[in-house]
Amino acid sequence: MTHALDRPLSQIRQTRQIRPSRRIAPFAESVWLVIDGLSAQRPDAIYYGSGAPARELIPVDRLREASAAAWGDGAGALGYGETDGYAPLRELIAARMAVLGAPADPAEILVVNGSQEGMDVVARALLEPGDIVLVEGPTFPEAVRLFASYEAEVVGMPMDAEGIVVDELPALLDALLQPPKFIYAIPTFQNPTGVTMPAARRQALADLARDRGILLVEDDPYSAFRYDGEDVPPLRAYAPDSVYLGTFSKTLAPGLRVGWIAAPRPLYDHLFAVKECLNISNDRVMMRTVHRAADGFLDDHIAQVRDAYRSRRDALLGAMEEYLPPRATWVRPEGGFFVWIDLEEEADTDALLERAAAGGVIYLPGSWFFPGRTKKNGLRLSFSALPEEKLIEGMRRLGQVLATG
């Protein structure tokens, strides 16, 4: 008898029927499939899609030194262990959160492989098929896809220039067949709109969530990058029993895959159990690397790169003023990596993308950021990874595209 492993893979593919789970259906459609295809066809187009730090602003030397030092723990760091995270890293994270105004005990911090894994751990621990999750409309698409993969119904909340319109939430909640399992929000320099919820709205959202018994899940990758205006503490400062997702992806580098969840007990214990069965722990050498790199360095590094990102934002906003026609409107972001443009209600930025790419500019069409892709007249620009001259030239090109319909 021939064992399956003795046969070429191509034959096995033909003989086995692969039936994907219902769970992965929401993974099938992705803005990145569209964009990657288009970028490959138009390699000269200026690409505004990356939400990552600029490569030249990643502190490679510091990370390299930290990595070498991290191996100093030798075999002590190479067994199983530290499911909750390397203790000095959890202490560093807790100290940073206290400075933000959202203190957490190191024992409430679970280190994860980026906030994307943090979302997954929270979703696994909480979601049943049919549960409702409220998100900002628009929001981070990978959050929507992830929650939908746990068969949750993902519902968008209204937003304006100051984030979630909290006054409209009671009516929205009353119209739902059941209360949401949680509200997922990116209140500071939101992805994709760049807007920030002022303190009063955060307080109102925290009050509403408390009164209605709804858990808040706050995703906060961008708050370190404020370019002007006053700091606003995280939502967690107003709702200490909420879940907070943090990451080193923007302040150090996304490829490190180090982020964290801060969560109250007993929820923390459920998240810990999920993490244990998901991947036992983060990479223990990498947790030491990030701790050593960040300790005594991260604030200075952030201050330095913040100036570079501020200049990029200003270059982009200046070029938008100069080149974009009046049909394009936007809210000036006080920080983060993104600007969102709204066109007139009937506009379709999915349809427009091909023409924009032919004109030498690629943006992310707004529909991908709404659950169900319901709204089509927005688009997202990221300014973090492009040099100023490209940011400006791209707006000249987009201006031409928008001027001709």
Residues near ligand PMP, by CB under 6 A: 51, 114-116, 140, 186, 191, 219, 221, 247, 249, 254, 259
For residue 252, which of 299, 188, 205 has the smallest C-alpha distance?
299
CA 135 to chain centre: 13
CB of 47 to ligand PMP, least distance (A): 15
The CB-of-401 to ligand PMP minimum distance in angstroms stands at 26
Q: Which residues contact 341 (CB under 8 A, 6 or more apart)?
A: 320, 324, 328, 329, 330, 363, 378, 379, 380, 381
Closest contact distance (angstroms) between CB of 221 and ligand PMP is: 5
- Per-residue burial over 362-396, b if 16 or more Cβ lie within 10 Å, else e, is bbbbbbbbbbebebbbbbbbbbbbbebebbbbbbb
Query: Taking the complex as a whole, how short is the minimal distance between the CB of residue 327 and ligand PMP, in angstroms?
Result: 27
CB-nearer residue toward ligand PMP: 51 or 137: 51
8 A C-beta contact, residue 275 and residue 123: no
Query: Whole-number minimum distance, CB 18 to ligand PMP, in Å?
Result: 28
Report the residue number, 51 or 394, with the smaller CB distance to ligand PMP: 51
Please report how close the Cβ of residue 188 comes to ligand PMP at its closest, in angstroms. Answer: 10
Cβ nearer to ligand PMP, comparing 323 with 338: 338
Report the residue number, 263 or 324, with the smaller CB distance to ligand PMP.
263
Comparison of 85 and 359: residue with beta carbon closer to ligand PMP: 85
Is residue 121 helix, strand or coil? Answer: helix
DSSP state at residue 345: T
Return the number of the residue (186 or 208) whose C-beta is nearest ligand PMP.
186
Pick the closer one to ligand PMP by CB: 191 or 193. 191
342 beta partners: 329, 378
DSSP E strand boundaries for 141-267: 153-157, 159-160, 163-164, 182-185, 215-219, 243-247, 259-262
Name the nearest CA neighbour of 259 among 235, 276, 283: 283
Nearest distance in Å: CB 391, ligand PMP: 19
Rounded Cα–Cα distance for residues 146 and 154 (Å)? 10
The neighbour count for residue 360, using CB atoms within 10 Å, is 17
**Residue of this chain nearest to ligand PMP (CB atom):** 114
